Amino acid sequence: MNAEIVAVGTELLLGQIANTNGAYLAQKLAGIGINVYYQTVVGDNPKRLEAVFKTAQNRSDLVILIGGLGPTKDDLTKQVVAHALGEDLVTDEDALAKITAFQEQSGRLNTPNNQLQALKLAHADTLPNATGFAVGDLYRDPDGADVVLLPGPPSEFTVMVDQQLMPRLMAKGTNQGVIFSKVMRFIGIGESELVTNLGDLIDAQTNPTIAPYAKVGEVTLRITATAKTQAEAEDKVNGMVEDVLERDRQYFYGYGDDNSLAQVVVHQLIDAQLTVTAAESLTAGEFQSTLGDVPGVSAVFPGGFVTYANEAKVSLLSIPQHIVDDFGVVSEETAVWMAQQAKLKLATDVAVSFTGVAGPDKLEGQPAGTVWIGIAFKDQPAEAHLYHFANGRAQIRRSSVLTGLDLIRQKLTTD
């Protein structure tokens, strides 16, 4: 099955934003064995969009259009595609009800243009929008390529791809049979090291295929097999999963695209009935906020401390002033004290602490990326570990948060 991606938007065409949606989707499609042969960007111009769409429908089996589903006048993808296909646009009642309910609740004006986002191609399946209002479409064309319409804002686009589009495409399978894939997630190992460990498996890959992907602070492998039956495809994938685990089990933390280290660790804590808190300096609340992303975390997370300035470390955590003065704020001793005191103050079973240099400037003569992470786990003596992260303020903080989660995971695994 050959797919083609058409991204719609003058802001893309003029280079004001890069086409990251196209890259995201192409990777996902490659992961389930759908080849992408062309990607096109076209502006908010109905004539040129229709010409591009017709060319795509003639040369590909699946045409995926991204963007132009919003409520404004320059959002015209649905209208153009409906015209080209000879389809009517009809209102999806669930989507309309969601828009109306939001407008009533928020007291915002019930402007008619907002309701345009509930329109869909008459004979398409609706792809619900979990994080926005514009619905997507999956249209099976009996005469030409199948057509998919997706919203442009990445926060809506990625969720719709992962939760709506990919399951439907995989359920349909390809001409060659059933596709099955599993995503394995790793923490604490770099992409190049993981790929080196698995070098012979990757060199020999045909079916299943192994696709590594580096994210901030973690690496995923997508293992994909095609076979005549679902059971056969699953067997192939699971065999490869075992081979991978044999080499890199200690870095593996879970399966799935929608999974995250925070989810895994929070559920481990819930299962073990252990409560957690944190004292955060350079991460400034990002660790706790990451815990807060996980529904149900309130069972194990009462709250915690953001101690950005030195005086807050002393006043909120009652750390002796001389510890900070003698050892410095970016030190093993301060990290250990922060974890210990946070655990004590909120009477939790586990506490993690973060102190270091987010950058761009040095602190206490230490370069950006120098981070001490402390952990106080049950009645074990608190400890702290030194890390050196890179690639700027945001990635230094993100890597710190993931490493703090991983310290808890390791303690729970060996406990």
The residue among 147 and 342 lying less far from its own copies, judged by its C-beta, is: 342
Find out whether the peptide bond into 167 is cis, omega within 30 degrees of 0. no
Are the C-beta atoms of 56 and 145 separated by less than 8 Å?
A: yes
The residue among 62 and 87 lying less far from its own copies, judged by its C-beta, is: 62
What is the spatial distance between Cα 259 and Cα 403, in angstroms, rounded to a whole number? 16
Are the C-beta atoms of 20 and 154 separated by less than 8 Å?
A: yes
Minimal distance in Å, beta carbon 142 to its own copies?
26
What is the spatial distance between Cα 328 and Cα 366, in angstroms, rounded to a whole number? 11
Pair of tokens at residue 183: 């995503």
Minimal distance in Å, beta carbon 123 to its own copies?
27
The residue among 241 and 284 lying less far from its own copies, judged by its C-beta, is: 284
- The single-letter code of the amino acid at 184 is M
Report the 10 Å Cβ neighbour count for 102: 13
Give the closest residue to 373 by CA, choosing from 283, 300, 295, 297.
Answer: 283
Are the C-beta atoms of 228 and 235 separated by less than 8 Å?
A: no
The residue among 39 and 79 lying less far from its own copies, judged by its C-beta, is: 39
Minimal distance in Å, beta carbon 257 to its own copies?
7
Minimal distance in Å, beta carbon 77 to its own copies?
15
**Taking CA 323 as the corner, what is the angle to CA 366 and CA 321, rounded to the nearest 5 degrees?**
110
Minimal distance in Å, beta carbon 137 to its own copies?
19
The residue among 28 and 411 lying less far from its own copies, judged by its C-beta, is: 28
Minimal distance in Å, beta carbon 28 to its own copies?
8
Report the 10 Å Cβ neighbour count for 378: 12
Pair of tokens at residue 388: 């050196």
The residue among 97 and 122 lying less far from its own copies, judged by its C-beta, is: 97
